[in-house]
Amino acid sequence: MIKVLNIYAFFTVLLIATSCTGNQEVEGWMQSCNNCTCVWLNGRKAANCSNLQLNEVPSHLSREMEDIDLSGNPLRRLGVLSFLVNGLIKLEVLRCQNCSLISIHEIALDGLVLLKKLDLSKNRIVRVYRDSFRHTRRLESLNLSFNRIHSLESSTFSGLYYLQEILLNDNQISFLKAITFEKLPSLQHINLANNEFEEIFTDYTENLPEFNSTLDLQGNPWICDCRMEEVRKTFLRKKLLTVPAICAEPSSLKGNLGQK
Ligand SMILES: *[C@@H]1O[C@H](CO)[C@@H](O)[C@H](O)[C@H]1NC(C)=O
Ligand SMILES: *[C@@H]1O[C@H](CO)[C@@H](O)[C@H](O)[C@H]1NC(C)=O
Ligand SMILES: *[C@@H]1O[C@H](CO)[C@@H](O)[C@H](O)[C@H]1NC(C)=O
Ligand SMILES: *[C@@H]1O[C@H](CO)[C@@H](O)[C@H](O)[C@H]1NC(C)=O
Ligand SMILES: *[C@@H]1O[C@H](CO)[C@@H](O)[C@H](O)[C@H]1NC(C)=O
């Protein structure tokens, strides 16, 4: 009996020893990181390639990478299949804040079928193409804040069934069609603060039957007239607004909450 136990003990020690040696070696996916820092982040294989003066998406990273931070690199544009051509098809998180991005090619994100979180904030993006998100059907969070977006084509986000939040604050949007937000059954939060809206005649949430949370419209130069009053009442009734919009015009209501 004792002999048997000893044998088990021997194999256990052997097993632990083997796994310890394994841990000391650099894991395969970490081997080709070059100047990026590879770490486990929130259970994902992550590469932090921020602020490396990169002009393009790195091609040397492991195909197993699940999270990439490219922030602060002067990439200027994301071209055709930017990630797919570099084998980066397992990405679940992609950050590219302050990447001097002017344009995102229509099919730049194609292939990223597992992407959940996309942060393209603090760039100079003017236009977002309608088909940009046709492959990224698993997106949960989309951050396009602090860009120069003027308008969005209808159906740009349509069919992103898992999308929970969309941040479009601090852009130059003055008009959105009613169907900009449709077929988004998981959406909880829309941020349209600090844009150029003067008037809203449409309830952007009317095509979102499940939308029960917040629509942020602060910091827009509202002209509070009778036409806008109806929509404003609807928003207030649905308790959508976090803070009521402040009027820029008419001057009699300037700085008011637009409540008569
Ligand atoms: C890593 O950074 C150093 C210094 O900034 C640079 O000279 C080198 O080319 C970089 N290596 C790669 C593979 O990008
Ligand atoms: C990447 O590194 C930068 C600089 O150290 C840090 O500020 C940033 O938060 C890191 N990104 C992630 C996703 O941890
Ligand atoms: C943005 O990125 C540039 C490099 O492209 C860097 O010099 C600058 O410090 C970054 N700004 C911020 C606010 O991180
Ligand atoms: C979106 O981007 C802004 C600016 O970079 C940042 O402050 C904010 O935390 C981001 N929010 C989310 C949910 O990613
Ligand atoms: C909105 O609904 C979702 C599920 O439908 C729920 O998880 C969430 O807590 C709700 N939010 C609010 C603010 O009621």
Q: Is 6 helix (H, G, I), strand (E, B) or coil?
A: helix
Which range, of 1-5, 78-82, 193-197, 234-238, averages the lowest pLDDT? 1-5
CB 203 within 8 A of CB 180: no
Which range, of 27-31, 81-85, 140-144, 223-227, averages the lowest pLDDT? 223-227
| Encoded tokens for 217 | 């419209």
Residue 35 alpha carbon to ligand 1 centre in Å: 6
* Per-domain boundaries in the chain: 149-260
Which spans in the chain are helix H? 2-24, 226-237
CATH topology of domain 149-260: 3.80.10
Residue 72 alpha carbon to ligand 3 centre in Å: 5
Give yes or no for residue 90 having a pLDDT over 90: yes
Q: Is 259 helix (H, G, I), strand (E, B) or coil?
A: coil
Mean pLDDT over all residues of the chain?
85
Ligand 2 surroundings by CB, under 6 angstroms: 48, 50, 69, 95
CA dihedral 4, 8, 14, 19 (to 10 degrees): 170
Among 32, 34, 35, which residue has the most ligand 1 atoms within 8 Å of its CB, making it the best to mutate? Answer: 35
DSSP per position, 147-163: S------TTSSTT-TT-
- For residue 132, the model assigns a pLDDT of 95
Give yes or no for residue 41 having a pLDDT over 80: yes
Ligand 3 surroundings by CB, under 6 angstroms: 72, 74, 98, 100
| Per-residue pLDDT tens over the stretch 184-211 | 999 989 999 999 988 777 778 888 877 8
- For residue 246, the model assigns a pLDDT of 63
